[in-house]
Amino acid sequence: MNTKRIAIFASGSGSNAIKLIEHFDKVPEINAVLLLTNNENAGVLEKTEDLIDHAVINNDGANDGSFLTELMHEERIDYIVLAGYLRKIPNELIKAFPRQIINIHPSLLPKYGGKGMYGMKVHQAVLANKETESGITIHLVNEIYDEGEILAQHKVNLSSKDSAETIQKKVLEIEHKNFSKEVENYIRKQG
Ligand SMILES: Nc1nc2c(c(=O)[nH]1)N[C@@H](CN(C=O)c1ccc(C(=O)N[C@@H](CCC(=O)O)C(=O)O)cc1)CN2
Ligand SMILES: NCC(=O)N[C@@H]1O[C@H](COP(=O)([O-])[O-])[C@@H](O)[C@H]1O
C-alpha cells in the first residue's frame, strides 16, 4: 500500500483526535498530516500544536464544499476522519472523497443519531430512555447525518446507577480503545 495521508476534523476537546495522531505515529504507511477545526477555541488546538499542522476555518468555510475539497487536494489528503466534528460535511466534499470520509458517533446507530444528536445530548437521551446498553458506531459519511454505511460497532453495558456523565465516560473509553484500529483496518482494506 502506498503511504496514505489523513486529515482529522474536530470541533472540541479532541481526545479522539489525539489518540488517532498517537496511533498513526506508529503506522509507517499511514500519516495523520492535518487537523482541521471550525472552532478557533477548540481544546484540540492547544493539545496538538506540536503534533500536527492545523487548519482553522469558520462556519462559512465549513459549509463551503469547493473550499474544503481544494484544501484537501492541496494537502494531498487520502482519507478524512471526523473525530467530534460538529458541522455538516458538504455534499461536494463527499462526492470528491467517495468512501473516504469516516466518522465516529457515540451511540449504537441508527438509535440516537441525526441532527441535534451529538456529544452529551446523545448520552442524556440514552439515559432518559433507560437503555441497558450503549456504544459507538464507526461509519462512512454520506449526505445525511449518521446514515452512512456502518463499518463497526462496539457496545458498553449500562446500569440504573449510570448518569449521562458515566455513560459518556464509558463510551469515550471504547472510542479511545477502538476507533484508531478500525480506521487503520478500513484504510488497509481499501489498499
Ligand atoms: N454529511 C455529514 N456530515 C457529518 C456527519 C454525517 O454523517 N454526514 N456526521 C457528523 C458528526 N455527527 C454525528 O456523528 C453530528 C455532528 C453534529 C450534528 C449537529 O446536529 N450539528 C448541529 C450544529 C452543531 C454546532 O455547530 O455547534 C447542526 O447541524 O445544527 C449532528 C451529528 C459530522 N458531519
Ligand atoms: N455526533 C458526533 C459526536 O457526538 N461525536 C462525539 O463527540 C465526542 C468528541 O470527543 P473528543 O473531542 O474528546 O474526541 C466523541 O464522543 C464523539 O463520539
pLDDT value at residue 143? 98
Please say if 123 is a catalytic residue. Answer: no
Q: Which residue has the cell 432518559?
A: 128
Mean pLDDT in residue range 93-97? 98
Mean pLDDT in residue range 76-100? 98
Q: Is 119 in the pocket of ligand 2 (CB under 6 A)?
A: yes
pLDDT above 70 covers what percent of the chain?
Answer: 100
Pairing of strands 133-140, 101-105: antiparallel
The ipTM estimated for the assembled molecules is 0.97
Pairing of strands 53-56, 30-37: parallel
pLDDT value at residue 124? 98
Q: How far is residue 140's CA from residue 148's CA, in Å, rounded to a whole number?
A: 5
Identity of the residue numbered 29: E
Ligand 1: which residues within 6 Å by Cβ? 82, 85-89, 103, 105, 115-118, 141, 143, 145-146, 148
CA 25 to chain CA centroid, nearest Å: 18
Q: What is the pLDDT of residues 42-67, one digit of tens each?
A: 999 999 999 999 999 999 999 999 99
Q: Is 15 in the pocket of ligand 2 (CB under 6 A)?
A: yes
pLDDT value at residue 53? 98
pTM over 0.90: yes
Catalytic residue among 105, 139, 154, 176: 105
pLDDT value at residue 49? 97
CB 25 within 8 A of CB 188: no
Whether the bond into 110 is cis, omega within 30 of 0: yes
Q: What is the DSSP letter of 89?
A: P
Q: Which residue has the cell 445530548?
A: 121
Q: What is the pLDDT of residues 108-148, one digit of tens each?
A: 999 999 999 999 999 999 999 999 999 999 999 999 999 99
| Count of CB atoms situated within 10 Å of the CB of 132 | 10
Please, what CATH class does the domain formed by 4-190 belong to?
Answer: alpha beta
pLDDT value at residue 8? 99
Q: Give strand ranges (E) for 11-52.
A: 30-37
- Mean predicted lDDT score pLDDT of the chain: 98
Q: Residue 172 CA: which ligand is closest?
A: 2
